[in-house]
Structure 1
Amino acid sequence: MVRTLRGIPLLGCLLGSLGCQGQSPAPPPIPKGDYGAVIRYLQARIPRDMARDNVAGLSIALVNGQELIWARGFGLADKARGVPVTPNTAFRAGGISKLLTATAALQLVEQQRLALDAPIQQTLREFHVRSRFHADPAAADRDITLRRLLSHQSGLPSEHLRDLRSDFAMGQMPMRISGVWLSSPPGSQVAYSNLAYALVGAAIERASGNSFEAQLQHSLLKPLEMNQSGFTGTRSAQDYRAQGYEDGIASPDAQVRDLAAGGLWTSPKDLARYLQMLFAHGLYKDQRLLRSASIEQMFTQQNTGNALDFDCQVGLAWFLAPCGDEPVGPAIRTYQHSGGGDDFAAQLTLLPDQQLGVIIMANDSHAEELVATLATDTLRLMLQAQTGQAVCADDCQAPSHGLKLRHVPAAIDRKRLAGFYATAWGVFRIKDGHSRLAGELAGFDFELLRDDEGWLRAQKKVLGFWLKDLGELSRIQLDVVTVQGRQMLTARSHGQRIAIGERIEPPPLPLAWADTIGTYQVLNTHEPDAPLSGVSVRLEDGFLVMRGQRHDEPLTDYILLPVDNAHAVLAGNGYGLGDTVSRQVNGLSASGYAFKRTQSPHKPLVL
C-alpha cells in the first residue's frame, strides 16, 4: 500500500515516456593493467553524471582482490554547511545492511548459537505465524527457518508498516508481530522482506546476548576496521554522516526501526574491507572472521526449483544474478545488492571469479539509476584493465530492432491478454479496445505491440507520433505464461526472464466485503511521518481495489481478494503482495494498523 515507482529501475524505465537517462560518453580504451586510466575516466565522468541528475554527493571505492584500488568522494555531504564528501563520509546503506546482518548470523551459526535450518521459533519462542497454507499451525511455525529468512523465502510479509519510523528495541519485534499472517507458502518463492530481517536481527541479539549494534561492532565492524560504520542513530549522531536529499531539498533525518534490514551507516571505503574479507575466504589481516564454507553458503543459490522466481537467483542475502538489470558481461558471474530509501542510494557489486568489486553510494534517492549504471560500467572497465580485452554484454549497445518489427496483436490474442494483473507496483490493466491493446500502470498509458519474436513491447505515442528514443522501454519484452496454474505476466530484460505480476480473475464478492467500500483513516498513531494515513476501498470492473493514502498523496492500487468473511489478501505474489487485510468492527486492519471508516459505502467516493 506504500509502493511507488521510485527505486524500481526496470518498471521505472519501462513506464517513463522517454526511457531512462542517456548514456555517458564512451570511455577510452583501457590498456591491460592500467587501472589509472579507469580512475581518470571516472574522475571526469562522475561530476558530469551528478550534475545531470542533480545529485549532491557521491562516494566510490574499487577493489581488486586484497587491494583497494581507489576510494574517492565527490560533491557535498551537506549543501547547507558546504561539507564535502570524502572517502570517510558515511551514507545510509539501505538494503546493503542485510549483507552484514547475514554475515553476523552465519558467525553465530558457526558458533552453534543459531542453526540455518532450525525453526526460528527455537530462538524467538514468543514468535508464531498464522497461515492459510497449513492445516497444522505448528507446521507453519516450523517452516520459518533462518535460511528462509535470509533468502527472502520465509513467506512473511515484506513490511510491518506500523511504527516503521520508531525506535522500538529490536528484541520487541518478535512479540509485536507474533500472529502475523503468511503471505506465501514458505520456501515456494522469493519475496523481498525487510520484516524477515528484523527477525534475524532479533535472533542475533537473543543468541549472542548483546544488542545488535554491540554484536555487529564486536564480531564484524571493528575487526574489519570499518570505523565509519554503525547501525544506530541518525545523521546528527556523527559529523561524518551525509545529509540525504530529494529533488535537491534536504530530507528529514528519519529513524530506522528495522536496523538489521536497513539501518547501516557506512562508506564505500569501509565496505571495501568487507569485500576484501570475502575475497580472502573469511580472513582479514590474518584474523578469521568467517569460515570459507559459510561464504560458500552465502553464495549458493537458495531458490533452486522455485518456478515463480524465473531467472532471479538468490543466495543468503545476496542476489546472484542481475534479476533483470543489465549484466556486466556474458558468462560473467555477478553478485550484488542495492540499497535505497531515506533519500540515499547505494550499490555493491562483485565479480567472484575475477575478485573485482565496486561500491557506490550517493545522498539522493533519485540517484539509484545513476549508481546502478555507473557500477556496471565501472566493472566493465576494471575487467578490461585486468584482462586487456573489452567486455560487454550482448545487448549493451542500443537495440537494433525497429518499429517496423512490431504489429498489433490479433483479436484472439488481445482477448487472451486483456485483464487485470496484480503487480508490486499496483494494478496493471491491459484492455482490448478499438482493435488495439492498451496498458495502464500507475497512471502511465501505452500501447502493447508484438515484436518479431512474439513478445509484447510497450510503445508510447506523443501528439500522434511514435517516440523514437525510448531507452530501456524499447528493450523490455512482456508476455503472459502459465506457471503452476497461475497466469504470470513476465518481462525479458537483457536476456533474463523475471516475474512482473499475476493475472487475477474477478472473484465472487461476499456481501460482508462489498460493505467495506468506503474510505478509512488510521487510528491511534502518533508517528510523525507514518507511511500510511488512510486507505480507500472501491469497486472497479468486479474487483475490490484498495488504495493507500499518505496525507494528501494517493498511493498504489491493489486488488483485494476475499478469503472468507473476515479476511482478504492483496492479490498477487512478490513484494507487498499476499498480505492479509482483516475486517474489524467499523473498520479494517492491515500491517499492524487499525483503520476506522470515515465515509459510508452508500456515498459516492471521490478518488
Structure 2
Amino acid sequence: MLLLRSIALSAACLLTACASVPPPAQPVARGDFAAVKQQLQAFIAQQMNAERVAGLSIALVDDQQAIAAWGQGWADVRTKRPADGQTLYRMGSISKLFTDTAAMQLVAQRRLALDAPIQQVLPWFHLGDEQADAPITLRQLMTHHSGLPRDSDGGMWVDPAVAPATDFRTMLRGLADEPRAAPPGLAMAYSNIGLDLVGAALEAASGRAFEDQLQAAVLKPLGMHSAYVGTGVSDDPKMATGHLRGVAQQEPALRDVPAGGLSASVDEMAKFVAMQLAGGHNGMGEVVLPRREWAEMLRPQNTDVPLDADLRVGLGWMFSTFGMDTVKGGGPVAHHAGATFYFRSQLMMLPEQRLGVVVAANDGAALGVVNRVAQRALALMLEAKTGIPQPVPEPGFRPALQAWPDAQRAAVHRACLGDYATVAGPVTIKAQGPDLKAVMGAAEQTLELREGEGGRLGLRYRVLGLWSANLGPLGDLGLLCERVAGRDVLIGVMDGQRMLVGERLPARGPLPTAAAAWVGRYRQQRLPGEVPTARDVQVSVADGRLWVGYTIHPAFGGQRVRTLLRPESDTRARLVGPLADTGPVVTLQPQPGQPPLIRFSGAVFERESP
C-alpha cells in the first residue's frame, strides 16, 4: 500500500513544493541501540522541521520489550506541553488491527467463522444492487477484498460539540441503497465500511457493544489502561491536540469507530507489538490470541489474486512495502498506517527478528514523516541486532543502453496507448513521434516515457521543457503494459516487486445525451455539525468523457482531484479507478422544477449552477 500512496503523492508533488530527500542513515555497530536512538532523534528533528510537524512520539520494541519510548515537539503548541511516550494520539486505521484481533478471538471460540457469509451473524445486512445477496465473508472483509465501497462519507466526520446524527451501526443498516464497488475477491480495495462490518459482527457474536468488547478482550489483557476506543479525543490530560503544519486544530469526531476509533500512547501500543512478537501472549505469558489465529493473521491471504500482483495482505496486516519504504534482510515486514484529520501513525514490525516500532504524530502534515521515521527506525534496529545493513533499493527503471528495435517499440505502443484509470488519477498515454508521453491528473501535467531495460518505461519530467526534475519515487518506477486476468493493465515495478497501477479504459465513444444533465457545480447537504472531506465539486464534460473534480480538505493534502465518471445509465455512473469497471456508484436524482441531486457515498449534493 505504501507504493500506491507514494505514486499518488509524487504525482501531486509535480506542481507543489515537496520535502527534500531525507539524509542517509549512518552505520551502527551490533548491540549499539544507544546509537540507534541518537540517530533517530536527529532524523526525527530534521523530518519534523521540514514538514512543520507539531509533535511526534515513538516506541521501539525488541524481543517483546519496549527498549525506548520518547517524544519530540509538542503535544499542544499553544501550552507548550511536550510530547512524550505517554502522550495519547488518535491511531486512525491502526485500530483495524485491534478490531481484527478481537474478531479472531471469537473465531478461535467458534463464535465467528472466517469463510462463512457474514449474513449468518448479521442477517439484516444487504446492499442495494443486483449482487446484494452475493456472499461476503469475514476473511474478505479483513483483507479488503469484499468489494464494498471505501467509505460512507455522509456523516463520517462531525464537530465533536455536536451529537452525531448517526453511528456506524445505523450507517451499515443504511447501505441497503448502496451498490457494490466491485465483485468480492476481484482485487484488493481498501474499505473502512468493511471494518465497521467486522465491528458489527463482533457485537453480534459477543453480545456486547463493540467498544466494551474491545476494551475487555484486547486492551485490558494487554495492560493498555490509558487506551480507549471512541468517536473522538478525550479530556484526558495526556491527550494530544491535533495540528496542521504546527497550528492547533479541532479534531472532528469519527463515526466509524471499528475502522479508526482507537486512541493510545506509543508506550502502550508497544504492548500490542510485544504481544505480536510473543506469538499472541501478553507480558505475563497469558494467551490474548491463540497461536493458530495469530499465525493466520500474519499469513498472506491473497497469493491467488492475479490483479493484486505482488501486493500482499494478511488478516488486517499489510506486507508489501516498496522502494524507500522497504526494510530488507529481516524477513517479511508487517505494517499498518493510520490517519484521522489531524493525527498520523505507523506501526511496523519484523516478526522473524522480533523487532517492532510504533510512531504517532499529532499533525495532518506528518503522513510521510511517520512512514519515513518508522522505516528508518526498523532498519537501524535490524542492523544493531543482526549486523544486517540496508542495501541500496533496486530501481524499477533503468534507461536502455541503446534504443529499442522498431518492432519492440511498435509492440509497446500497441500495448500502452490509451486512457487509463490509475491510483494517481486519470492518465493518458500518447505517441509523440517515436516517443511516448503520459498526461496526468487534473492539471494535465505531461511526462516523458523513456525506454528502459527489460521493456519497461520510465517517467521523466522537464521543467519548462528543459530541465529534468526530481520525481521522488516516481523516478525509480518502472512501468509495464500487460494483460492480466483479461484486462489491459499498467503494472508498476519497484525494488523487484510489482503492483497494479491502473487499467486501460475502453475507447472513447459518444456520451449519452443525458450526460449533459449531470454537468454543474454542486454543494453537499451537510448533516448537523458535519465536517466534509471535499469541497468545490464540479461535474463536467471534456474529451468525450464525463468528469468530476473536487478539492480535498487541507488536512488530507488540499489537492484538486479530477476523476472519471463512467455512465452506466442516464442516472447512474461509476467513479472508476484503478480498474476501469469498478469503483463507488454515483446516482443522479432529477427533481421536477428544481436542479437535480447527486447521491454519492452516503452523501447528497445539490446543484448550485449548471
Same fold (TM over 0.5): yes
**In the TM superposition, what is the alpha-carbon distance from 1:545 to its structure 2 partner?**
1.1
Any residues of structure 2 matched to 1:468-483 within 5 Å, and which?
469-483=470-484
**What CA distance in whole angstroms lies between the structure 2 residues aligned with 1:465 and 1:423?**
27
Paired amino acid for 1:9: S
Change (3 A) 1:11 1:516: closer
After superposition, give the CA deviation of every residue in 1:530-564 in whole Å (9 maximum; x if it has no partner).
Answer: 23456332222221112235699784222122223
Any residues of structure 2 matched to 1:424-439 within 5 Å, and which?
424-433=423-432, 436=435, 437-439=437-439
Q: Which position in structure 2 is the counterpart of 1:440?
A: 440
**8 Å CA contact 2:4, 2:501 repeated in 1:** no
**What CA distance in whole angstroms lies between the structure 1 residues aligned with 2:46 and 2:550?**
38
Q: Which position in structure 1 is the counterpart of 2:289?
A: 290
After superposition, give the CA deviation of every residue in 1:57-102 in whole Å (9 maximum; x if it has no partner).
Answer: 1111111112111111111110001000011001111111110110
Q: Are 2:481 and 1:467 aligned?
A: no
Q: Are 2:381 and 1:378 aligned?
A: no
Q: Which position in structure 2 is the counterpart of 1:604?
A: none
Q: Are 2:111 and 1:110 aligned?
A: no
**In the TM superposition, what is the alpha-carbon distance from 1:412 to its structure 2 partner?**
7.0
Q: Are 2:94 and 1:96 aligned?
A: yes
Q: Which position in structure 1 is the counterpart of 2:161?
A: none
Paired amino acid for 1:231: V
**8 Å CA contact 1:7, 1:365 repeated in 2:** no
Unaligned runs of at least 5 residues, structure 2: 159-163, 591-595
Q: Which position in structure 2 is the counterpart of 1:605?
A: none
**8 Å CA contact 2:505, 2:580 repeated in 1:** no
Q: Are 2:108 and 1:150 aligned?
A: no
TM-score under structure 2 normalisation? 0.89
**What CA distance in whole angstroms lies between the structure 1 residues aligned with 2:588 and 2:603?**
12
**In the TM superposition, what is the alpha-carbon distance from 1:255 to its structure 2 partner?**
0.5
**What CA distance in whole angstroms lies between the structure 2 residues aligned with 1:210 and 1:460?**
55
Change (3 A) 1:85 1:296: same
**What CA distance in whole angstroms lies between the structure 2 residues aligned with 1:250 and 1:434?**
52
**8 Å CA contact 1:19, 1:472 repeated in 2:** no
Change (3 A) 1:400 1:478: closer
Return the match for 1:568 from 561, 570, 573: 573
Any residues of structure 2 matched to 1:91-240 within 5 Å, and which?
91-132=89-130, 134=131, 137-138=132-133, 140=134, 143-166=135-158, 167=164, 168-240=166-238
**What CA distance in whole angstroms lies between the structure 1 residues aligned with 2:121 and 2:214?**
18
SS in 1 for 2:222: coil
Q: Which position in structure 2 is the counterpart of 1:308?
A: 307
Paired amino acid for 1:538: S
Backbone CA RMSD of aligned residues:
2.9
**8 Å CA contact 1:16, 1:473 repeated in 2:** no
Change (3 A) 1:323 1:31: closer
**In the TM superposition, what is the alpha-carbon distance from 1:170 to its structure 2 partner?**
3.0
Percent of aligned pairs sharing the same letter? 35
**What CA distance in whole angstroms lies between the structure 1 residues aligned with 2:237 and 2:12?**
39
**8 Å CA contact 2:60, 2:67 repeated in 1:** yes
Change (3 A) 1:480 1:19: farther
**What CA distance in whole angstroms lies between the structure 1 residues aligned with 2:580 and 2:254?**
19
**What CA distance in whole angstroms lies between the structure 2 residues aligned with 1:52 and 1:554?**
19
Q: Which position in structure 2 is the counterpart of 1:24?
A: 23
After superposition, give the CA deviation of every residue in 1:170-193 in whole Å (9 maximum; x if it has no partner).
Answer: 332321223421111111211000
**8 Å CA contact 2:40, 2:373 repeated in 1:** no
**What CA distance in whole angstroms lies between the structure 1 residues aligned with 2:54 and 2:403?**
41
Q: Which position in structure 1 is the counterpart of 2:31?
A: 33
After superposition, give the CA deviation of every residue in 1:175-231 in whole Å (9 maximum; x if it has no partner).
Answer: 122342111111121100011111111222222222222111111111111123111
Q: Which position in structure 1 is the counterpart of 2:356?
A: 357
**In the TM superposition, what is the alpha-carbon distance from 1:303 to its structure 2 partner?**
1.3
**What CA distance in whole angstroms lies between the structure 2 residues aligned with 1:170 and 1:313?**
28
**What CA distance in whole angstroms lies between the structure 1 residues aligned with 2:357 and 2:198?**
27
**8 Å CA contact 1:445, 1:460 repeated in 2:** yes
Q: Which position in structure 1 is the counterpart of 2:550?
A: 548
**What CA distance in whole angstroms lies between the structure 2 residues aligned with 1:468 and 1:155?**
38
Q: Which position in structure 1 is the counterpart of 2:593?
A: none
**In the TM superposition, what is the alpha-carbon distance from 1:235 to its structure 2 partner?**
3.0
| Stretch of structure 1 that moved more, 155-164 or 278-287 | 278-287
Paired amino acid for 2:136: I
TM-score under structure 1 normalisation? 0.89
| Stretch of structure 1 that moved more, 232-241 or 76-85 | 232-241
Paired amino acid for 1:441: G
**What CA distance in whole angstroms lies between the structure 1 residues aligned with 2:19 and 2:500?**
21
**In the TM superposition, what is the alpha-carbon distance from 1:7 to its structure 2 partner?**
9.6
Q: Are 2:564 and 1:559 aligned?
A: yes
**In the TM superposition, what is the alpha-carbon distance from 1:236 to its structure 2 partner?**
4.7
**What CA distance in whole angstroms lies between the structure 2 residues aligned with 1:64 and 1:274?**
13
SS in 1 for 2:61: strand
Q: Which position in structure 2 is the counterpart of 1:580?
A: 585
Q: Which position in structure 2 is the counterpart of 1:498?
A: 499
Change (3 A) 1:182 1:324: farther
**In the TM superposition, what is the alpha-carbon distance from 1:11 to its structure 2 partner?**
2.7
After superposition, give the CA deviation of every residue in 1:21-54 in whole Å (9 maximum; x if it has no partner).
Answer: 3122432x32222222212222333223222221
SS in 2 for 1:317: coil
Change (3 A) 1:546 1:48: closer
Change (3 A) 1:87 1:207: same
Change (3 A) 1:109 1:412: closer
